[in-house]
Structure 1
């Protein structure tokens, strides 16, 4: 299972960081996670990446619990979970970040000396128009790989 977690976390990281590198989105979940821990932007990237990888492993374990509970693990169930995961992230978690993150400005109050990180807003639209699409694609791939690998493991024991 650890090998599968490494593969899916690497894949979603490659998709999301690739989208950022290609200019499709400015959203960096590892950076945002790291800025919870430090105000140093360089260290925020390093610590955030480590936190992001650990979180990816935890979510992978959660996905596997869902696959085991109905006794059915398929790539399409993983895809559905990926879509739900992505929508909760985009529509629920990202808009709440300014209220939870001590270094993030809010849409209503703007930046201060301490709160300088731009809020991602609903669906991450402050990070680019394509952010919802690239984030959903990453989450769909993440779920499909997890579901497909669980399906293969069940088939070949």
Structure 2
């Protein structure tokens, strides 16, 4: 009788990258796709993936969040342009979540905002996937494509 041989595959390594900030009276505002006045605080975050693969991007806040995901650039005056996806509550507990393949040759822009207008609160973005992801605050006050104005605020845990 042949002895039982056990083989196991090494589990996939999941790396988390985290970005933390807050929507405040100093935050930029825009009108969401659903229309209305420009009273939704938001933060545009450049997402740079070093390794192509499947990633999860999830918000974490004590309020109801809403997320938009763009390819290449984000224009606050034309928020439908370059839009890949939007989400409200897929992350559970009123948090947005994007689960998708991210290509390392594409720069993505995550716009994190609130479900209701005029709401301020701290929030975090957690990205999990096969490799570390750079998450960069991006100032979008100009009408030109995204310009990076600050350094990385991401950490790997």
TM bin, normalised by shorter chain, reads: under 0.3
Q: Which has the higher helix share?
A: 1
Larger Rg: 2
Structure-2-length-normalised TM-score: 0.24
Structure with greater strand percent: 2
What is the TM-score when the length of structure 1 is the normalising length?
A: 0.24
